[in-house]
Structure formats: C-alpha cells, structure tokens
Amino acid sequence: MTNMMPHWLDKRADLTPNHIAIQQPFKDPITFIELKTKAKSLAKRLSSAGVSLGSRVGVYSPNSAEMVVVLHSLSYLGAVAVLINTRLSTSEVSHQLTDANVSLLLTSDEASGACQSIVQSLASPISLYSFSDVWRLGEKETNLRTEIDLNAPFTIIYTSGTTGFPKGVVHTYGNHWWSAISSALNLGLDVNEKWLAALPLFHVGGLSILLKSCIYGMTVYLLEKFDVEAVHHAIMNEGVTIASVVSVMLDRLLQWLQSEYYPSTFRCMLLGGGPAPKPLLERAAQANVPVFQTYGMTETSSQIATLSPNNALDKLGSAGKALFPAQLKIINENGNEQPAFVYGEIYVKGPMVTNGYFHNEDANKRSFHNGWLATGDIGYFDEDGFLYVVDRRKDLIISGGENIYPAEIESVLLGMEGVEEAGVTKKADEKWGSVPIAFLVRSDTKLTEEQVLAFCHAKLANYKIPKEIYFVDTLPRNASNKLVRHKLTRFIPK
C-alpha cells in the first residue's frame, strides 16, 4: 500500500476543472483549474525566493483567496507552512518563527507593516515578502511536485500547552487527508456541497475546510472573518450547506436569525472550539438549526468526535463518538480505562492525530503513549459510549473560540518586576464565553493595575490580556504547593 498519491490540486483540477473552488462576496469566483494555475505560477516565483523542499515558511495573513493560493503553492514545492495567528503579539510571533526555524515570512500586503516589526525583532533576521512582492518575482524553472507523500509534513500550527509554552503541532499531508475523509464518512458527501469558512485559516478548523475543498471537489464560501450579517446572508441566499462555527458565533447567528428559518439545504452547523453551553444548544434546536457538536484540537487536525443532530437533545452537551478511523478512551491517573460516568483524561488515537510537536522531545514524551495522545482534557463516557468533555484541558480558558492557557499569562506576569506570584483563571463573559482574570501577589506595593496591563499589552495578544486584575496577599495552593486555580475566584470582592 503506497503512501503516495497525485498532488491534490493537480488531481482535483483534472477531475473537475471548472467547479468553483472559492466563492467570496463581491469577488469573482475561482475555479479549481484557475487555483491550480495560480498556485503553480506562485510556486515557481517562491522558488526564485529560495523556497524549496523542506523549507519552513511563515504565513501571516487574514483569510483571503491569495492566502489559499500561497498554501497550495508551498505544497508544490514540498515546503512546510508555519501558520501564524495574526492576533498574537510581536514577541509571540517572534518566538514561533524562531522555534520553527522559519527561513522566510510571507504576509498579506496589509499586514506587511506589522511583519516588518516582527522580522526586525528577531535575533537572526529572515526574509520578508508580501504576497505582491512574490508575484513581482520571476518564475524560476522548478520541478514542482506531482505527488504527495502522506508521511511528509505540510503545516505547523502552534498551540499553547498547559505548561504555557506554545508547541508547534506538525501536520502531515496524511493527517489532513484522514481528517477530511473521516469527516466525509460522518457527514456524507454531496456533489453540491458548499462549506462556509469564517474561522481563521491559520487555525486548523479553518485550514481543514480548504483541504476538504480540494479533496472533495467542494466549493468553499470564504469570508475574511466572522461577520454575523455576512454569514447569515451566505446561509440564507448563497447555497451554503455546511458552516463551521464556535459557540460565540452560533449565539450571534441565532440572535440574528430571530423568527426566520435556514433553508433545508443547510444541513450542518459544525460547532467546535470547546463545550457549548446547554441553553445555546436548546435555542439552536428550537430554531431548527442542525448543530453538530464536535470535539477536536490542533493535534487532531480538527474534529475527532462529533455528535449528530439526531442525538443533539437526548445527548445534550455531548461531543458524540469518535469518527470512524479514530478512537477515544478515558484514562485515570494510574493509566487504567475508566468505566462509564467516571472522569478521566481523554486519550485519542487515529490517523488524523499529529505524530508530534516540532523539535520538542520533552512534550512528545509527555503526550504520546503507545500510539495514543494524552490530550490533557478531562471527560467521561455515558452508558452508550458518548463523550462528554468536562474541562477543555485543565483550567483552559476559551474566549471567543480562542484557547487561552492561564500558565502562559502567568509566566508573562511573573516576568514583571514587582510581581511575586501570579494566578490566572476564567470568568464567565456574556460576549466571549469566558475571559481571563488575574490575581497577583505584589513585592512592590506601588504596582498599579495600569502598569500591569501596559506590560501585558507589550507581551500578549489582546484576547489574552486579563480583563480584571486583583491584588491579593496569598494565592490558594494545595499540599504540594501547587496553585489551585479554581479557588482563585473566592478573592473577588462581593
């Protein structure tokens, strides 16, 4: 059984050349043959810039058709795309570029100013090209790849770990392939499918839609970002059949929907990004919105478990069962499987699960056990084997679909002069689901909230900046002196 297959975009453009690959509001649609032609031309220009097999290339861009072309062009060269979250701070991006040993950074034209500062902040400088810069280069005669090796790496996406240091999740072509196939086996596959992508393409949830498009021969309805009116319009009038959203998006869509109903051809609202509040799911059911709750993470190349709408209400709050080629188990501290209804750590296995973190033997040793990935998430099965995720990793804060790890913010705060101890936890928020709040023990009693926030602004993405700062005398700790984050909120003045 070979691990090679034809290059996905070549094959797709051969099978259905005139099918629409990308549809965007107020723009010309792009067919698969056009996408292929552009991507191959861009690949030859990137070759002029020195990109070749195995190069790691940073991609810093909001969603756009140009970004899609860039990603496919990198695959024609066998280069690895390191996808950068554009909401990160300069120092966060610098860390990722350095850690992934990126040799060249590609950026959307609009973001090239921001990327200039990032590149200048690096210890060893790397080349920076805006997408337009690359198009101005000449095409270099290059042997573009005609086959894809399922075992070869295609993308690296950084994810914060419980230790607070972002780790680069390496996705092979095979991981993406199996993710797409597993999803199709679950949701079915229709020749008229149109999947809405309003999630950022630099997250695996958005990226996976792009690759499904190429593998299935499916149109992506691409939005630069989530905009409730644009998404509503696309579902109501543009033939969208599937949309990927996180809870905060679903909430806003339901508000917008009011007493209308989506057309019956809209068959799947794929809900990811952490456990959904039950009242939200009930509202969705009342509005006849076909919500599929999912469980997944960067390491699983998007969803690995999904609950179908048939079970949406009698299994309310469940993330369903593992997709066909995947497996889940719940493991206790002694490494044994837990019976139904008993909490434990969620372990996952399957061909869509990453082989490991980039150049991070320690993290790999901690996380992988006999082919299983220990997710760090806590969950349980019910009597029918349906998964319930209790805590999306211990203490994780999910804010508008973005993962925020308290330890990461704490380590920034502890880097500030005058801060002796720091504890971060979450607070419910109507708009974002949760937001981070911080508790500090000062060594310098003159330290102010304003100073702390200013320090955070320089180091952290906006969404990670604590929304409230409390100065306290001690932090709650357990017998082993470990911080007990869920007890922090008792310090909030009533």
Footprint of its own copies on this chain (CB under 8 A)? 1-6, 11-12, 14-15, 150-151, 172, 174-175, 178, 181, 184-185, 188-191, 215-217, 321-322, 324-327, 349-351, 353, 355, 371, 385
What is the distance between the alpha carbons of residues 254 and 251, in angstroms, rounded to a whole number? 5
Residue 438 identity (one-letter amino acid): A
CB of 253 to its own copies, least distance (A): 25
User: Is the Cβ of residue 260 or residue 382 nearer to its own copies in the bound state?
Assistant: 382
Q: Minimum CB separation from its own copies for residue 101, in Å? A: 23
Q: Which is nearer to its own copies, 175 or 399 (CB)?
A: 175
Q: Which is nearer to its own copies, 5 or 441 (CB)?
A: 5
Q: How far is the CB of 147 from its own copies (least distance, A)?
A: 8
Cα–Cα distance, 379 to 381 (Å, whole number): 7
Distances (CA, A) of 4 to 18, 301, 326, 449: 25, 20, 22, 56
* Residue from 433, 437, 426 nearest 399 by CA: 433
Smallest distance from its own copies to CB 322, Å: 8
Is 113 exposed, middle or buried, given 0-12, 13-18 or 19+ CB atoms closer than 10 A?
Answer: exposed
Distance (Å, whole) CA 289 – CA 249: 13
d(CA 366, CA 369): 8
Rg of the chain (C-alpha set): 23
Identify which of residues 86 and 294 has a Cβ nearer to its own copies in the complex.
Answer: 294
CB atoms within 10 A of CB 40: 20
CB of 324 to its own copies, least distance (A): 6
Least Å distance, CB 310 to its own copies, is 10
Q: Which is nearer to its own copies, 44 or 321 (CB)?
A: 321
What would the two tokens of residue 107 be?
A: 């950026």
Smaller CB separation from its own copies, 16 or 163? 16
Strand order of the β-sheet with 127-130 is 127-130, 104-107, 56-60, 80-84, 153-159, 167-172
CB of 318 to its own copies, least distance (A): 14
Residue-by-residue DSSP string for 288-313? T--EEEEEEEGGGTEEEEEE-GGGTT
Q: How many CB atoms lie within 10 A of CB 234?
A: 22
Q: What is the dihedral of CA 107, 396, 434, 87, to 10 degrees?
A: -10
Pairing of strands 387-391, 372-381: antiparallel
- Of the candidates 115, 212, 224, 204, the residue with the CA atom closest to the CA atom of residue 157: 204
- Torsion sign across C-alpha atoms 12, 18, 23, 26: positive
CA distance 97 to 209: 25
Query: Closest separation between CB of residue 174 and its own copies, Å?
Result: 4
* CB of 153 or CB of 206, closer to its own copies: 153
Of 50 and 385, the one with the shorter C-beta distance to its own copies is 385
Nearer to its own copies, 48 or 311 (CB): 311
Write down the least CB distance from residue 173 to its own copies, Å. Answer: 9
- The least distance separating its own copies from the CB of residue 339, rounded to whole angstroms, comes to 17
Please state the closest distance from residue 276 (CB atom) to its own copies, in A.
21
Nearer to its own copies, 47 or 175 (CB): 175
Torsion of CA 410, 412, 414, 415, to 10 degrees: 170
- Other C-beta atoms lying within 10 Å of the C-beta of residue 332: 13
Pick 217 or 466: Cβ nearer its own copies:
217
**CA-to-CA separations, 307 to 185, 198, 215, 246, in angstroms, rounded:** 13, 21, 23, 15
